[in-house]
Amino acid sequence: MSQKVLLSSKEIHIILHRLACQLLERHLDFSDSVLIGLQPRGTFLARRLLELLETDYKVTGIPFGLLDITFYRDDFRRGDKTLAASSTHIDFLVEGKRVVLIDDVLFTGRSIRAALTALQSFGRPREIELLTLIDRRFSRHLPIQPDYRGRQVDAIGGERVKVCWKENEGEDAVYLISDKA
């Protein structure tokens, strides 16, 4: 197994600020907008962006939710393992809102497809945008593209992208891991 650093802590810091600014550019005061992080791994990125927007850019009171997509996945019973769910916390209606879905890595696009379906249970949003830290190019199974991306990466099938967060793994970093020696 070999691993290569794709993004360092400093690069992640800069990218987070850029993403926050891009969100601000389109959503201004976020009066009609909500941020929703995808469970489990997208929630770290979503919380970071929310924090940045609140502390550095003084936008407060943005509705913030966490969405679990387990029951909407299209691979139920197709693997060996039971799909374990995480919790969903969305205590507002998304009806008529501009929703920003946030996840760490965009790979096949299947999770986002599931998230779009799951979100319908909370109302009919005015629009849904997608923000991801890593966009794995040429690996999509579905016609889904991000509106905001941190970094575009070319990774082949056997490689994995691992996103680490200070609050969970002890450091901010993104690695490209290859199982071949």
Chain residues binding another protein by CB under 8 A are 68, 70-73, 76-77, 81-88, 93, 117-118, 120-123
Q: Which is nearer to another protein, 86 or 139 (CB)?
A: 86
Q: Which is nearer to another protein, 63 or 123 (CB)?
A: 123
What's the token pair of residue 151? Answer: 């970094």
Q: Which is nearer to another protein, 22 or 86 (CB)?
A: 86
Instruction: State the minimum distance, in angstroms, from the CB of residue 121 to another protein.
Output: 4
Instruction: State the minimum distance, in angstroms, from the CB of residue 141 to another protein.
Output: 18
Cα 52 to Cα 73: distance, rounded to the nearest angstrom = 31
Q: How many CB atoms lie within 10 A of CB 44?
A: 21
Q: Which residues contact 110 (CB under 8 A, 6 or more apart)?
A: 73, 74, 75, 141, 142
Instruction: State the minimum distance, in angstroms, from the CB of residue 77 to another protein.
Output: 6
Instruction: State the minimum distance, in angstroms, from the CB of residue 71 to another protein.
Output: 4
- Confirm if 34 and 23 have CB atoms less than 8 A apart: no
Laid out side by side, the sheet with 173-178 consists of 2-7, 173-178, 159-164
Instruction: State the minimum distance, in angstroms, from the CB of residue 95 to another protein.
Output: 9
Cα 100 to Cα 86: distance, rounded to the nearest angstrom = 20
- Confirm if 41 and 105 have CB atoms less than 8 A apart: yes
Instruction: State the minimum distance, in angstroms, from the CB of residue 40 to another protein.
Output: 13
- Confirm if 153 and 6 have CB atoms less than 8 A apart: yes
Q: Which is nearer to another protein, 57 or 92 (CB)?
A: 92
Q: Which is nearer to another protein, 86 or 178 (CB)?
A: 86
Q: How many Cα neighbours within 13 Å face the side chain of 64?
A: 17
Q: Which is nearer to another protein, 4 or 124 (CB)?
A: 124
